[in-house]
Every structure is written in structure tokens, then in C-alpha cells.
Amino acid sequence: MSISGTATADESTVAGHYDALDRFYREIWGEHVHHGLWSTGRESPAQATRAMIDLVAEAARLPPQARVIDVGCGYGGTSRVLAAEHGCDVTGFTLSAAQAAWARAQGGTPRFEVRSWLENELPDGEADAVVAIESLSHMVDKPLAFSQAARVLKAGGRFVLVDWFASEAPNAAERRLLLAPIAREGRLPTLCSVSEYERMLGRAGFRVERTQDFRPLAPHRTWGIVARRLARRLATDAQARRFLLGPENPDRAFALSLARIPLALRTGTLRLVMIAAERS
């Protein structure tokens, strides 16, 4: 059952969130705005972040010189890895002009567009793979996001997504205290369950090949790293303190999620899951 975040999490609100917090994301998260994964527990934050990209690339089974679309590309970190290390021809889409400007300034071959994935205007049937790391939950129309992926892919092309999900049957307290505020503060119009995505993918013309719940890889550890970096920043930078915690910042409530999200991930109320599907 999906959780409703907020009626105001439309595209301009999501774009405004990432544009307004551009400096915060770059300084605290770096070029990858997604969770890390720890299989030994000894990985550095950079290695843990990289582990997610490697799993996505493996699940995408990229052919040589693959044409890849990075949906919700953020600062283009994944796009650059796929281009530089897998020889892919990559186009990334983000709603945030600040993210695209920074991504373009890094050079390399990927192209970055400030445009909604829901209105991407790519040609039909040319992509080998579509990847979407922690971006689809921001989108108001999930079926349209999936049908766009099906439209731009070649037959047999692959769609690999990683996203935030609600557990299949959260109780009232989990919904009220964890999932609804996480969706609201994170600008997620709806937080779906894995089975809802699997059904939508089927309807869009995909065959789901692999569903991997990342809970055993301790993604909640990411939030400890973010909280420590943020605390350091707030302790040493008065301007950052005024900006992030000041009443004029509509996104300051997101700071509360720093406690909620890891708790929800640890208990399995919130799930971070990769789904790999083939376009039939």
C-alpha cells in the first residue's frame, strides 16, 4: 500500500529542494546522492557508495558502447562512472539546474539535461539500459515513469532501479511516525511497496528479473556518516547554521529525517531495494 507524502511534492518543489540545498548536498553527500552499501562493514564511505553503482552496472548487463539513460542523475556521479569505466554513451536527466550545471562542469562525455523524465522527448527504442538510482520515488506519476522507460528502451533492454519503498503492510504507527513524515520531508509524493512497483513494471511491458533488498548491506550506515558530516559543518560554519536551520529555509524539516530514515531502514519499515527488469 503506498504512502502519500505531500500534495506539494510536485516537480517544481523537488527542483527547488535540490537547487536550494545544492551546496549542502555537495558538501555533505558529495557527487553521489545515494546510499552506500557495506558487505564487509570495513568499506570507506566512498567504497560503500561505489558498491551501489557497481551492483546497478552489473544488473544492467551493459553491451559494449551501451546507450544508457540515467534518470534523476543528480550530480552525474553514476553517469560518469558508466561512461568512463564501461564505455557507455550516457544522457542524464535531473530537475535541478544547479545539479546539471555542476555535472556539466566536470567534463567527460555524459550529456545532462534539466528536464523531467516524464516528458523526456527521447526517441523510441534506442536505449540499451535505463538506470534510476533513488529518483523514482520523487515522481508524481510512477506508471508514466515506467512507460517512458519502456518506450525509450530497445526490446531486451534493461531497466535497473534502486528506490525507497514502504514495507508491504506497515502498521498505523509506522505510517504516521516514520513513513508519512519521511515522504513529506524528503519531497516524495508517494512511497510505494515493492509489489506495487513490480505490478506497474509488468503493466509497462517489463519482466522483472531480480529484486534485491539492500537491508543486509546496512544502507542505514549512510545516515550516520551524513549526520557526522553535518554536525561538523554546523559546528564550524555559522553561515551554514543560519541557512540550514533558519526559518526561511523550507527544507529545514528534512534534518529531522536524519533520525527517522536510519531507524525506518533498520526496522525494515523503509526499504532500499534494487529491481532489474527486461523490456519484453
Ligand X SMILES: C[S@@+](CC[C@H](N)C(=O)[O-])C[C@H]1O[C@@H](n2cnc3c(N)ncnc32)[C@H](O)[C@@H]1O
**Residues at the interface with ligand X (CB under 6 A):** 11, 14, 18, 32-34, 72-74, 77-78, 93-96, 99, 116-118, 133-135, 138-139
Q: Measured from the CB atom, is 91 or 94 closer to ligand X? A: 94
Nearest to ligand X of 14, 160 (CB atom): 14
Cα angle: 174, vertex 179, 185; to 5 degrees: 140
Nearer to ligand X, 98 or 242 (CB): 98
**Min separation Cβ 189 and ligand X, Å:** 10
- The three cell numbers of residue 181 are 513524515
SS3 state of residue 157: strand
Closer to ligand X by CB, 156 or 250: give it.
Answer: 250
Rounded least distance, CB 116 to ligand X, Å: 4
Cα gap 234→224, rounded to integer Å: 15
Distances (CA, A) of 232 to 47, 208, 228, 236, 248: 22, 42, 6, 6, 22
Cα–Cα distance between 41 and 127 in angstroms, integer? 36
Q: How far is the CB of 188 from ligand X (least distance, A)?
A: 10
Residue 161, classed as helix, strand or coil, is strand
Least Cβ distance, residue 197 to ligand X (angstroms): 16
